[in-house]
Amino acid sequence: MWLKPVPSCFSMLKPYCSASPPPPTTLKFITAMKTTEEPDVGIFCYISQLPGFRGILKQRYSDFMVNEVDTEGNVVHLTNMDAPAETVKEIETKTHDATSKDYTTEIESFRSLVDPDDAERLEAIINQINSGSEDSILPIVLSPDYDKSHRTAVHNFFKENFKFLVTDTVDGPDASSKCIRVRINSGGQNSRGRNSRKRKERGDKPFDSRGSDDWSENVGKFLRFHLYKENKDTQEALGIIGKMLGVQPRSFGFAGTKDKRAVTTQRVTVFKQLASRLAALNDRLIGIKVGDFCYVKEGLVLGQLMGNRFTITLRGVVADSEDTIKASAIALGKQGFINYFGLQRFGSGSVPTHLIGATLLRGEWKSTVSLFLDPREGEKNAITEAREYYKETNDIEGTLRQLPRHLVSEKAILQCLKKCPGNYLQALKAIPRTLRMMYVHSYQSYLWNHAASMRVQKYGTDRVVLGDLVYCKGNEIEKVSEVVSSECVDENGNDTLDPIDLDDISGTNLPEERLNLVKAVTAEDILSGNYTIDDVVLPMPGSRVIFPENDIADVFHDLAKKDAISLTDSVHNVKEFSITSMTGSYRRVFQKPMDFEWEILKYIDANKPLVDTDFDKIAKTKPSSLNGDGRLHDKTKQSECLDNDIGLQTDDNGAKAKGEELPQAEFLCDTNPQETQTALKLSFTLPASCYATMAIRELLKTSTSVAFHKTLN
């Protein structure tokens, strides 16, 4: 499949937009869209007037490499998979309480409280303890329990009757269920254990079943390591590692979620685990490696990164001449690209996320629930049948049995409606918070993109104009009274998390600009030349942002008004679904790739990698310790080209709105092996929240939409 160039501009548009923006569509009257196209979400313009060229993006997932950049500016690589000499000692404590008593009566009482299968599990674990095989005992997880009061009764039963066991609550098989996990209380018979401490006493720190005394005090309690993965998303990789270690995925901390169809390296922390245990997993892990271990005092949280380093290889490049390729690459490095929110932000389903966000902002709870549950175009038959079944029968139980687990939002809504029929607002609040907030943030992004296009169309890309917003410089900060954070924060002070933004996006925060203030450019500023086009920002609407003091401000308000949404008043009192209850943020309109490098390569075999991954570099120094041919794993590598797509972005976070996923390019590997082809290798760093696909769009002058690439197949 080829990325065919489109005209870079039309003579009637200045400056250089790919198409004239159509009148904004009133989202209120849209029910479904087959696919989301760039103009639908305000993406119209390019900076450069240069023509584009053809290129294949992600012919192999190893053509898209992402290395996290930490807060100190260091690019994260996997360099060593060996565990360091351990200085950590786990203090073992044995629990012999179970062997001193017959628990038949307690087990029978427990049988009356829970399912028979759960009683059998408990009896089995007690028998294991009595047999002296305590070291090999794994935790047991009881059946899903939707009743919190019943779960409390079960917890209390264990506290009263089985002091040598400890319980905690873990996520169930679907979004609205919970399960009780039972394991040995290694704190001893008379120890209340860390788990029995209230959350406030723990300071909301991760739960540690071994207790605070079971770890050397002179060593950090978090193990930090570098996670290298191929063709797996972050949650999937950590889920596999967690299962091998016997810990939950939520025990891990990381700064940003990375995409599946790529080769990525990032930092991860886990609470109180030995490096030797993780290093030992490398022989069993497929498509995943861990290394560069060290112990630290604090775990990673979302947003603790400066950005990402991208190494992208465009294969099958065809242009009028090599000079065209060189000129475009040079222009991207010097001029940058328009810092649009990419199509990934808006999902790839037939109901875009900003449409759902608009209905939430209007307070149309029942309509929003319908958008989630109604049949959609383009889904798999099984999902379509489940949606149609619910629409025809209103049978919640039957629908839940049919819906796949990854539809987290839909299942959470139905579980709540089962308990509270007709309470649509409560049903929407049952969706995990990071997911439900994503929809409102998507609508903010929709407004921002339109405003950015109008700013480029009306005022160009080479100068600051009167009324533009810029981050203040130097002593001017003292002249501005309004303090505004440069990232999205809700009224509770929680940083926003957009699950759609994966490895194509360079993060979720701009920590170095958190305290920067914003002002409107004055005539004096223009005369002084104190600001350049690179300083221009536009707001993500919220209660504490200011708008440009020129006609670009009207774009925000007029477009929102067409959607029956006010940016200054809320029609309902549900704060989390109200722009006026959000602080807001700012985003740079233009972004230049940092440490930008490019190289034109020639190749014959499309099945061979053109750039070494982190693991490839290790393999060259330690070939004997790896699989026979020195590759990370044979099966996936051999099928990499056959499994090929040129998806600019995928999202494999289960029910999260899926990122942009382009169609399969089945015949790309059947190229003539004797024919020399051209590739363009690009390496650059982007700060947090920037989309690499928007940089590639500027280079190739092509749309990143699914529909566009299907027409080229």
Whether residue 111 is found in the same domain as residue 177: yes
Residue 257's domain is classified under what CATH number?
3.30.70.3160
b vs e for 158-196, b when ≥16 Cβ sit within 10 Å of the residue's Cβ? beeebbbbbbbeeebebbbebbbbbbbbbbbeebebbbb
If residue 538 lies in a helix (H) or strand (E), which one and from where to where? strand 536-540
Structural domain of residue 147, as residue ranges?
104-184
Whether residue 49 is found in the same domain as residue 152: no
Residue 407's domain is classified under what CATH number?
1.10.1510
Q: Which of 230, 246, 295, 243 is nearest to 269 (CA)?
A: 295
Residue-averaged pLDDT of the chain: 78
Q: Are 651 and 502 in contact (CB under 8 A)?
A: yes
Top-confidence residue, 70 or 37:
70
Residue 216: inside a domain = yes
Q: Is 259 a known active-site residue?
A: yes
Confidence grade of residue 204 (pLDDT, cut at 50, 70, 90) = very low
The fraction of the chain above a pLDDT of 90, given in percent, is 47
Question: For the residues 507-515, what does the mean pLDDT come to?
Answer: 39
Note if the pTM is more than 0.85: no
For residue 600, pLDDT beyond 90:
yes
For the chain, the domain total comes to 4
As a whole number of angstroms, the distance between CA 469 and CA 556 comes to 14
- What radius of gyration do the chain's Cα atoms show? 27
User: What is the pLDDT, as a whole number, of residue 92?
Assistant: 47
Residue 455: inside a domain = no
Domain boundary among 398, 431, 464: 431
Domain boundary among 378, 405, 431: 431
Which has the minimum average pLDDT: 279-283, 435-439, 525-529? Answer: 435-439
Which has the minimum average pLDDT: 204-218, 219-233, 624-638? Answer: 624-638
Amino acid at 527: L
Whether residue 382 is found in the same domain as residue 416: yes
Confidence grade of residue 429 (pLDDT, cut at 50, 70, 90) = very high
Whether residue 164 is found in the same domain as residue 180: yes
Whether residue 59 is found in the same domain as residue 130: no
For residue 314, pLDDT beyond 70:
yes
Q: How many residues does the chain have?
A: 713
Domain boundary among 168, 184, 200: 184
Whether residue 253 is found in the same domain as residue 314: no
Residue 76: inside a domain = no
Confidence grade of residue 133 (pLDDT, cut at 50, 70, 90) = low
Whether residue 273 is found in the same domain as residue 326: no
Residue 670: inside a domain = no
User: What is the pLDDT, as a whole number, of residue 502?
Assistant: 41
Residue 488: inside a domain = no
Determine how many CB atoms are found less than 10 A away from the CB of residue 366: 12
For residue 50, pLDDT beyond 60:
yes
Residue 55 DSSP class:
E
Q: Are 285 and 228 in contact (CB under 8 A)?
A: no
Top-confidence residue, 565 or 486:
565
User: What is the pLDDT, as a whole number, of residue 504?
Assistant: 47
Residue 530: inside a domain = no
Tokens 């477009």 correspond to 559
As a whole number of angstroms, the distance between CA 19 and CA 263 comes to 34
Question: For the residues 261-280, what does the mean pLDDT come to?
Answer: 94
Residue 637: inside a domain = no
Which has the minimum average pLDDT: 83-87, 446-450, 605-609, 646-650? Answer: 646-650
* Active-site option among 63, 259, 292, 503: 259
Whether residue 139 is found in the same domain as residue 227: no
Top-confidence residue, 208 or 395:
395
Residue 5: inside a domain = no
Whether residue 217 is found in the same domain as residue 323: no
Residue 291 pairs in a beta bridge with 226
Instruction: Looking at 538-608, list the stretches that DSSP marks H as alpha helix, in order from N- to C-terminal side.
Output: 552-562
User: What is the pLDDT, as a whole number, of residue 479?
Assistant: 45
Whether residue 395 is found in the same domain as residue 293: no
Q: Are 391 and 383 in contact (CB under 8 A)?
A: no
Tokens 């112990």 correspond to 295
Structure-block tokens of residue 331: 């222009």
Structure-block tokens of residue 176: 């609205």
Whether residue 132 is found in the same domain as residue 146: yes
User: What is the pLDDT, as a whole number, of residue 707?
Assistant: 58
Whether residue 158 is found in the same domain as residue 216: no
Top-confidence residue, 689 or 567:
567
